[in-house]
Amino acid sequence: MNLRPTISVIIPAWREGKKLLRLAEIFKDVEGVEVIAALAEGDMETVLPGVDDIVIVRSPAKGRARQMIEGVRASSGEFLLFLHADTLVDPNSLENVRSALLTQGVAGGAYRIQIDSEALRYKAWSAIINLRSRWFKLPYGDQAIFIKRELYDAIDGFEDVPIMEDIRLVSAMKMVGWLVILDDVAVTSARKWEKDGFLYGTLRNWLMLMAHKMGVSPEKLVSWYYKD
> 60-88: per-residue pLDDT in tens?
889 999 999 999 999 999 999 999 999 99
Cα distance between residue 8 and residue 55, in whole Å: 10
The residues, ordered by sequence, that sit 6+ positions from 172 with a Cβ below 8 Å of its Cβ are: 155, 156
If DSSP codes are grouped into helix, strand and coil, which group holds residue 146? strand
Q: Where are the alpha helices (DSSP H) in 55-106?
A: 64-74, 94-101
If DSSP codes are grouped into helix, strand and coil, which group holds residue 131? helix
pLDDT at position 203 is: 86
If DSSP codes are grouped into helix, strand and coil, which group holds residue 129? helix
Q: Select from 57, 49, 19, 68 the least CA-distant residue to 187.
A: 19
pLDDT at position 68 is: 97
Cα–Cα–Cα angle for 221, 173, 131, rounded to 5 degrees: 75
Domains and CATH numbers, the chain: 7-114+139-186 (3.90.550.10)
Report the Cα 185 to chain-centroid distance in Å.
13
Q: Which of 50-64, 111-125, 147-161, 200-214 has the lowest mean pLDDT?
A: 50-64
Tens digit of each residue's pLDDT (9 = 90 or more) over 103-119: 999 999 999 999 999 99
Mean local confidence (pLDDT), 212-225: 90
